[in-house]
Amino acid sequence: MKVWLINPRTEGMISTELPSFVSKEVGCFPPLGLLYVAGSLRAHTDHDLVLLDMPARDMPYEELADRIRESPPDVVGITGTTHNLAEVRRAAETIKTVAPDTTICLGGPHVEAFPEQALALPCIDFAVRGEGEVAFVKFLEAFEAGAGYDDVAGLIYRTDEEVCANPPAPLLQDLDALPYPAREFLNPSDYCYVLGKKSTFTTILTTRGCPYRCIFCSTPHGTCRLRSPKSIVDEMESCLEQGAEELHFIDDTFNIKPRRIRAVSEEILARGLKARWSFRGRVDTIDADSLRLARQAGCERIHYGIETGTDAGLEALRKQITTEQAREALALTRQAGISTVTYFIIGCPHEQERVDILRTIDFAIRINPDFAMFNVLAIYPHTELFDMAVARGLVDPGLWSDFVKNPTPDFKMRFWDEFFDAEEFGELLKLCYHKFYMRPVVVWRNLKQLGSLSELRHKAAAALAMLKGRGV
């Protein structure tokens, strides 16, 4: 069969993680979830496979329509988040307009978050809930055979009478057994990151699941599953062989245990692998020895989620860290010669006055990371924060369920606006960036760290956008 996998465009995505004047310049990351599915299809089927990453190639919908019209696929798998559902809808409607007989199957985080509404859009024929590497292969087997779908775990489909949802598949436990993401479908030069030092960049995922319970996070909780150091470094080698010059681990928490950093670093050093890499981690699972080894093994940057600048605020967000742990982690990382990026949010429920937000800005300046990212706390569905907002009357309980039935690009993310309105958040957010980055010591430090012309171009664009930025 002809099977296409599509990552839709992002213009209609709900703005959440970063202010618009920064997010537009952050960069473009590979669609790892879709690539994992493509890798599984390559390993276990002989379907004629096409993968289109529309954002990376800046592919307009007119071009998508032309390509579908020229060679209509039998099945299209579309990956989707709830925040990008308007673009999922537009992609699916484009396909159905020119190839009405093509079957469309939706996967990705949206289906996991809203399984009951996964087929709310009439242009979506099937949906796969949960991890798709096995489920999508099983669905294609049943589809090609013209058999029933009762045995396809995680599949959601229509019958003449109703929408049926099969029980979810068990979580994949042996992540090492999965085929690597099928990066051969990509052009490495299409991907970049504003903080990266090299022109070709890719991402790697080494964990699934999260053991923490932050009140604002919508990442599905559950058993945290880890890949082995050998599997991780094998994939690093594969990425380097395919032309990637810089690798970024995009796990929510790469360093779930301090020993994990040491084990991966030791594996890299034992092979003599020359790699530039970075990861996202926690400040409470860091020690000097692991940082020293990581630097020797090529780690150049660590991204720390700190969120707020007071211990009372960290407790309210249930981060399970302290400001002292954050300060110490930044100091140790700096001593090891590794660059640091910190993430902060403003507009938390505990911030009732302007001075509360200024404390977070001042804390960011005191711990002195190389880079700091600030954003307004977004109220995601299926989080404790959402339930708190509903209880306070700040958010309608049907907000998200109504949106997923009719996703439109004009939907506005909700913030905790009990004490500040949107205009005030925009002003405060701009103040955060100006106070942190417009210090002579930071400007000079960043100029010294520039490694290439491409890095200069990306960072200059982001800086100019920040200086002009308004709103959230």
pLDDT tens digits for 381-406?
999 999 999 999 999 999 999 999 99
Q: Residue ranges of the domains in the chain?
A: 2-165, 187-378+415-468
3-state secondary structure the chain: CEEEEEECCCCCCCCCCCCHHHHCCCEECCCHHHHHHHHHHHHHCCCEEEEEEHHHHCCCHHHHHHHHHHCCCCEEEEECCHHHHHHHHHHHHHHHHHCCCCEEEEECHHHHHCHHHCCCCCCCCEEECCCHHHHHHHHHHHHHHCCCCCCCCCEEEECCCCEEECCCCCCCCCHHHCCCCCHHHCCHHHCEECCCCCCCEEEECCEECCCCCCCCCCCCCCCCEECCHHHHHHHHHHHHHCCCCEEEECCCCCCCCHHHHHHHHHHHHHHCCCCCEEEEECHHHCCHHHHHHHHHCCEEEEEEEEECCCHHHHHHHCCCCCHHHHHHHHHHHHHCCCEEEEEEEECCCCCCCHHHHHHHHHHHHHHCCCEEEEEECECCCCCHHHHHHHHCCCCCCCHHHHHHHCCCCCCCCCECCCCCCHHHHHHHHHHHHHHHHCCHHHHHHHHHHCCCHHHHHHHHHHHHHHHHCCCC
User: Does 51 score more than 90 pLDDT?
Assistant: yes
Higher-pLDDT residue of 17, 137: 137
- pLDDT at residue 323 greater than cutoff 60: yes
Q: pLDDT, tens digit, for every residue of 122-145?
A: 999 999 998 999 999 999 999 999
Does pLDDT of 194 surpass 80? no
Least confident of 196-200, 246-250, 378-382, 411-415: 196-200
On whether the 2-165 domain is CATH 3.30.720.110, my answer is no
Q: Are strands 163-165 and 155-158 parallel, antiparallel or unpaired?
A: antiparallel
Output the pLDDT for position 470. Answer: 44
pLDDT of residue 152: 95
Q: What is the pLDDT of residue 435?
A: 94
pLDDT exceeds 90 at position 460: no
Confidence of residue 20 (pLDDT cuts 50, 70, 90): low
CATH of domain 187-378+415-468: 3.80.30.20
pLDDT tens for residues 93-111?
A: 999 999 999 999 999 999 9
Predicted pLDDT at 192: 79
- 185: pLDDT strictly greater than 90: yes
What is the chain's mean pLDDT, rounded?
Answer: 90
pLDDT at 448: 61
**pLDDT over 70 for what percent of the chain?**
90
The pLDDT of residue 471 is 44
Q: Closest by alpha carbon to 30, among 2, 1, 52, 4? A: 52
Residue 204 confidence class, pLDDT cut points 50, 70, 90:
very high
Give the pLDDT confidence score for residue 223 in this predicted structure.
77
Give yes or no for residue 330 having a pLDDT over 70: yes
pLDDT given for residue 17 in this prediction: 47
Least confident segment among 310-324, 329-343, 446-460: 446-460
Checking if the pLDDT of 18 tops 50, the result is no
The pLDDT value recorded for residue 321 is: 97
pLDDT greater than 50 at residue 355: yes
Higher-pLDDT residue of 412 and 4 is 4
Question: Mean pLDDT throughout 149-164?
Answer: 92
Of residues 198 and 423, more confidently modeled: 423
Split at pLDDT 50, 70, 90, the class of 224 is confident
* 316: β partners: none
pLDDT at 239: 94
